[in-house]
Amino acid sequence: MYLQVTNLKKSYGTGEGRQEILKGVDLTMEKGSTASIIGSSGCGKSTLLNCIGGLEVIDDGDIRVDGKSLKGLGKRELGAYRRDSIGFIFQFFNLLPDLNVRDNIRVAERLTDKPIEYGALLDQLGLAGIERKYPNQLSGGQQQRVSIARALIKNPQLLLCDEPTGALDSATAKDTLILLEKSMLPSARPF
Ligand SMILES: Nc1ncnc2c1ncn2[C@@H]1O[C@H](COP(=O)(O)OP(=O)(O)OP(=O)(O)O)[C@@H](O)[C@H]1O
Ligand SMILES: [Mg+2]
């Protein structure tokens, strides 16, 4: 089992205001597989992804990725795990506005010693012609393709996507999902 979430519990707040969001979540995934998490607004989907991605410290239970447990890791170790193992794609892209497309992607490339090849990734995601543009000069779909490239260049073990098409029109959303799925196939990894 590549990803194994066992009896995961996570609350926010303290005392009277304490709210238990994840009340014992179990989830297992094999290497190379894809899963979608569906649920009503506020049910804890982003919280679950943030726990798996090491953005949140968990209260109880365990998360194991490739046999390694996140339990008991401190902020610094979680930071290293995020940097080395996780690619994150967000609904609103979160690109750095003062960097062009190339630099937004290359910043992530520097975080790892096992990046995938920049030029091949650019071609694969159809970004070669817009390398010098800044985020505010791009359409939503183009920005999301840049953020996919930024996540993939690290060659992450896990790609976590939180509503990656939520800010896109339905046709662009469909194209983006197809591209995302293709990009994650081991055979599509350009190395
Ligand atoms: N940092 C935080 N501090 C306190 N409460 C939080 C925090 N983050 C999320 N919550 C609460 O946890 C609950 C779950 O939020 P979460 O963002 O995980 O939901 P979601 O399923 O992703 O919803 P949506 O579909 O609207 O994105 C909500 O009640 C939210 O208010
Ligand atoms: Mg959410």
Separation of CA 163 and ligand 2 centre (Å):
7
Q: Which domain holds residue 67?
A: 3-73
* Mean pLDDT confidence for 42-57: 94
Nearest residue CA, atom 28 of ligand 1? 42
| pLDDT (tens digit per residue) in 128-172 | 999 999 999 999 999 999 999 999 999 898 999 999 998 888 988
Total domains present in the chain: 2
Query: What is the reported pTM?
Result: 0.90
Ligand 1 atom at minimal distance to the Cα of residue 39: 21
Place of tokens 């992804």: 49
Same domain flag for 108 and 51: no
**pLDDT confidence of 187, banded at 50, 70, 90?**
low
Separation of CA 171 and ligand 2 centre (Å):
22
Choosing from 21, 38, 73, the residue where a domain stops is 73
> From start to end of the chain, where are the E strands?
3-12, 19-29, 60-65, 68-69, 86-89, 158-161
Nearest residue CA, atom 4 of ligand 1? 12
Separation of CA 81 and ligand 2 centre (Å):
22
